[in-house]
Amino acid sequence: MHTIPDPDSPQTTIERITLLYAMEAEGMPLVERLKLTEQPAVDPNLTQRHFAGTVGTVSIDLLMNGVDPRCGTDRIGTDAATLAGFIAIRKFAPDLVINAGTCGGFQARGGCVGDIYVSEGDCLFHDRHIALPGFALQARGQWPVTPAKHLAAAMGAKSGIVSTGNSLDTTPEELAFFAQYRVAAKDMEACAIAQVCGQCGVPFVAVKAVTDLVDHPEPASEAFLRNLRTASALLSESMERGIRWLGAHPRRVGDL
Ligand code: ADE
């Protein structure tokens, strides 16, 4: 029988942190800010790039998904995210996993390009439709994140609900879902990693920078490409503040 470990271990002191990024453009600015150094590949069959270093009291392992060798594009989406989450937990035994990256935001919820969101509540999947009895929860995901109001304050970030799917654009049905669940950040990885962390009993937080507005007529792809560098730079500033706050003195999961 499988039991799900209790991820709610507020007394755990955070000494080992894993940072998971999908895209190199999102992750490299923090690698440079924290002067992390590249390590050997985590597995000969996987494309992830591994960087590591120490910031005060915390050791950092940062994984970026690497590229699909067939087309040279970064591996984004839930399959690569699940794989990275699981290999990172097995290899690094982190006390905390942070999935950082970019997202679509929502004018209706006060979002602007460049805003940074720290996850709150449950992470959701918005593009899983399984009209079979009993499958609704699995389809919706609803994997809890670790409350992190103090970390959000240290980062100068907003708090919001993150929802994950495997497409950059949005259907009318998904817009209704986002309104129903008051989603603030639409991404392609967080809920997949929240699920792995939930199953493994590892505290999880997502940090997302807005590149485009989902409820705006401009196609997401155009705004995303225009704003990726700026949003990633802002993300790296917030992430550096958060990591330095975490490394300033030993902190427990319950203090996040
Ligand atoms: N990452 C950045 N913008 C996004 C969007 N609109 N949807 C999904 N992931 C994103």
Pocket of ligand 1 (CB under 6 A): 102-104, 168, 186-188, 211-212, 214, 220, 224
Each residue's pLDDT expressed in tens, for the chain with a length of 256 residues: 444 445 556 788 999 999 999 999 999 999 999 999 999 999 999 999 999 999 999 999 999 999 999 999 999 999 999 999 999 999 999 999 999 999 999 999 999 999 999 999 999 999 999 999 999 999 999 999 999 999 999 999 999 999 999 999 999 999 999 999 999 999 999 999 999 999 999 999 999 999 999 999 999 999 999 999 999 999 999 999 999 999 999 999 999 9
Q: How far is the CA of 15 from the centre of ligand 1 (A)?
A: 31
- Annotated catalytic residues are 26, 212
- Asked whether residue 43 is domain-assigned, the answer is yes
* Phi, psi values for residue 181, rounded to 5°: -100, 10
H-helix or E-strand containing 79? helix 78-92
The 3-state DSSP class for residue 10 equals coil
Domain boundaries, position 149: 16-251
- Asked whether residue 10 is domain-assigned, the answer is no
Atom of ligand 1 nearest to the CA of 101: 1
Q: How far is the CA of 181 from the centre of ligand 1 (A)?
A: 17
Atom of ligand 1 nearest to the CA of 214: 6
Give the residue, out of 188, 229, 232, with the most ligand 1 atoms within 8 A of its beta carbon, to mutate for a pocket test: 188
Number of Cα atoms under 13 Å in the Cβ half of residue 106:
22
**Tally of domains in the chain:** 1
pTM of the full predicted structure?
0.96
What is the C-alpha separation between 195 and 186, in angstroms, rounded? 16
- Asked whether residue 108 is domain-assigned, the answer is yes
- Asked whether residue 80 is domain-assigned, the answer is yes
Q: How far is the CA of 188 from the centre of ligand 1 (A)?
A: 7
What is the C-alpha separation between 112 and 216, in angstroms, rounded? 11
Q: 56: domain CATH number?
A: 3.40.50.1580
- Asked whether residue 46 is domain-assigned, the answer is yes
